[in-house]
Amino acid sequence: MAKARKLFTIGYEQTPARAVFDELQRAGVKLVVDVRAIVSSRRPGFSKTQLAAALDERGISYLHLRGLGTPKEGRLAARSGDIKTLAKIYHAHLKTAQARADMDELDTLVMKAGPVCLLCYERDHAICHRSFIAEIIQARDGIKVDNLAAPQF
């Protein structure tokens, strides 16, 4: 019997980088897929280059799929707590050529690359666009999704 594939998600809001990296390692994640539209961060350790290097030190690969990031209007809706508008904007965004291509790439990676984790800023997966991505992958492939939360210090 084949081992069931798993997709993780994690957000780093109000969480130190080390705690996030420890949680990823504890879960056995082999690839972090960054689904932020903008990969710079005010939080130490979460800008693209720093993040990729820190993950590499722990034996975790890094990939940024910009096409799965939230458009500016969606980020503004999320910040204001308007999840319905975020959902509407993001689902429309997923119909773009880049988003479809990146979703197909993610789908392939989840099936072949070992444990994959979607990374974004928002700590609560229920109010983050990564939950929409996870739902699509889960529906397409029957993949189990586990939403990680690193301890806040």
Output the six-digit token pair for 58: 């722990």
Is the alpha carbon torsion for 134, 119, 114, 1 positive or negative?
Answer: negative
Average pLDDT for 46-73: 97
Average pLDDT score over the chain? 93
- Please state, as a whole number, how many other Cβ atoms lie within 10 Å of the Cβ of residue 82: 15
* Topology annotation, domain 6-143: Protein-Tyrosine Phosphatase; Chain A (3.90.190)
Which pLDDT belongs to residue 2?
46
Which pLDDT belongs to residue 119?
98
Distance CA 45, CA 17 (A): 6
Confidence grade of residue 4 (pLDDT, cut at 50, 70, 90)? low
Distance CA 142, CA 113 (A): 16
Confidence grade of residue 29 (pLDDT, cut at 50, 70, 90)? very high
**41 or 3: whose pLDDT is higher?**
41
The two beta strands, 6-11 and 31-34, are: unpaired
Rounded alpha-carbon distances, angstroms, from residue 129 to 28, 60, 62, 121? 23, 23, 19, 10
Q: Is pLDDT above 80 for 153?
A: no
Which pLDDT belongs to residue 5?
80
Question: Whole-structure pTM over 0.85, yes or no?
Answer: yes
- pLDDT, one tens digit per residue, over 95-147 is 999 999 999 999 999 998 889 999 999 999 999 999 999 999 999 888 899 99
Distance CA 38, CA 36 (A): 5
Q: Is pLDDT above 70 for 3?
A: no
Average pLDDT for 65-87: 94
Beta-carbon contacts of 62 under 8 Å, excluding residues fewer than 6 positions away, are 31, 32, 34, 51, 52, 55, 56
User: For the chain, which residues make up each domain, given as ranges?
Assistant: 6-143
